[in-house]
Amino acid sequence: MARQRVLTGITTTGTPHLGNYVGAIRPAIEASRDSSLDSFFFLADYHALIKCQDPELVRQSSKEIAATWLALGLDTDKALFYRQSDIPEIPELTWVLCCNAAKGLMNRAHAYKAAVQANEEAGEDPDFGITMGLFNYPVLMAADILMFNASHVPVGRDQIQHLEMARDIAQRFNHNFAGVFTLPEAVVDDNVAVLQGLDGRKMSKSYNNTIPLFQSEKQLRKSINRIKTNLLEPGEPKDPEDSTVFQVWAAFASPAETERMRREFENGIAWGEAKKQLFELVNAELAAARERYTQLMDDPAHIEAVLRKGAGRAREYSVPLMEKVRAAVGIGALR
Ligand code: TRP
């Protein structure tokens, strides 16, 4: 059997938070240590342009996200780690795929449909403020995936439709031309925690309820103290299932430590004490990585060198694949 090729992209917008860490980064780095598979991780900076037109923010976010993955111990000799925009074959393939993707299929993309619907509800023209970037987003994503013949793509639920579109585009292309592409599969892990934020809703930048991953120790303590709790007094039993403090605890603690905390809740641990223990637990897991993160952020040349090296390795795949695609569709040197 062919080796599993696992690939995933990280859109470079925003600063990584504990929810990103628990839900995506930590499991991805763990999985990349499995030597029975090949891992490809990349900064999806062309995707970032769809949401963000502020060059400083795009740059800053690329730097923060690259530093985060490196600080958390991604082994870049093993996993391929690169920046989408360093692979010129990706936008090239995007165009070829655009010429093979049904517009009707793209009309059904959730993100585009939601934008149209919001316009209609606001009484605007349906396409108000909608760029071709947003509309073509799933084709660019298909190019990211098909370029490297990825077999498995770990994503959140919201991305499943994009994987179906990538398969659909690949199938159509394979049918029209010599079969070039592997059909990728979405991998959605229901076991990884979806972390709650400060207000108890899903931790998300759009709810403004996040705990940044690498803020200072002092800030981390402050953030944890801001997690919303109820008014139960010390000594009164507390329901762990109903508590963000407990939920975050469970995402960082061993099963035995989680059971201990469950009993502490039932025995009426004070909120202040529970938060103090939570801070210590989270801080212990992150402290060394935070140190490395700070060093990396002060040494962008090092990050850049790692990314360039990754791009060099990635292009060993993308250059020949693009040659194959060009030949398949009839573009290139005359013979
Ligand atoms: N669209 C993905 C997200 O927002 C990021 C992404 C871009 C991606 N290209 C990809 C994920 C290719 C997996 C594979 O989460």
**CATH code of the domain covering residue 102:** 3.40.50.620
User: What residues flank ligand 1, with Cβ below 6 Å?
Assistant: 7-9, 11, 44, 47, 141, 144-145, 153, 155, 159
Q: Does residue 202 belong to any structural domain of this protein?
A: no
Ligand 1, residue 154: give the atom nearest the CA: 13
The owner of tokens 């985060």 is 68
Q: How far apart are CA 332 and CA 6, in angstroms?
A: 31
Q: How many helices (H) and strands (E) does the chain have?
A: 14, 5
Ligand 1, residue 144: give the atom nearest the CA: 12
> Residue 230, class by beta-carbon neighbours within 10 Å (0-12 exposed, 13-18 middle, 19+ buried)?
exposed
Q: Which residue out of 155, 161, 165, 188 has the highest number of ligand 1 atoms within 8 Å of its CB and is therefore the one to mutate?
A: 155
- Together in a domain, 98 and 183: yes
Q: Which residue out of 5, 6, 10 has the highest number of ligand 1 atoms within 8 Å of its CB and is therefore the one to mutate?
A: 10
Ordered per-residue pLDDT tens for the chain, 335 residues:
678 999 999 999 989 999 999 999 999 999 999 999 999 999 999 999 999 999 999 999 999 999 999 999 999 999 999 999 999 999 999 999 999 999 999 999 999 999 999 999 999 999 999 999 999 999 999 999 999 999 999 998 889 999 999 999 999 999 999 788 999 999 998 777 789 999 999 999 889 999 999 999 999 999 999 999 999 999 999 999 999 999 999 999 999 999 999 999 999 999 999 999 999 999 999 999 999 999 999 999 999 999 999 999 999 999 999 999 999 999 988 87
Query: Mind spelling out the 3-state secondary structure of 6-66?
Result: EEEEEECCCCCEHHHHHHHHHHHHHHCCCCCEEEEEEEEHHHHHHHCCCHHHHHHHHHHHH
Q: Does residue 199 belong to any structural domain of this protein?
A: no
Give the closest residue (by CA) to ligand 1 atom 13.
8
Q: Does residue 203 belong to any structural domain of this protein?
A: no
Rounded to the nearest angstrom, the distance between the alpha carbon of 283 and the centre of ligand 1 is 29
Q: Does residue 261 belong to any structural domain of this protein?
A: yes
Q: Does residue 198 belong to any structural domain of this protein?
A: no
Rounded to the nearest angstrom, the distance between the alpha carbon of 141 and the centre of ligand 1 is 6
- Together in a domain, 224 and 172: no
Q: Does residue 140 belong to any structural domain of this protein?
A: yes
Q: Say how many domains are in the chain.
A: 2
The CATH number covering residue 274 comes to: 1.10.240.10
Residue 276 domain boundaries: 214-295
**How much is the pTM?**
0.94
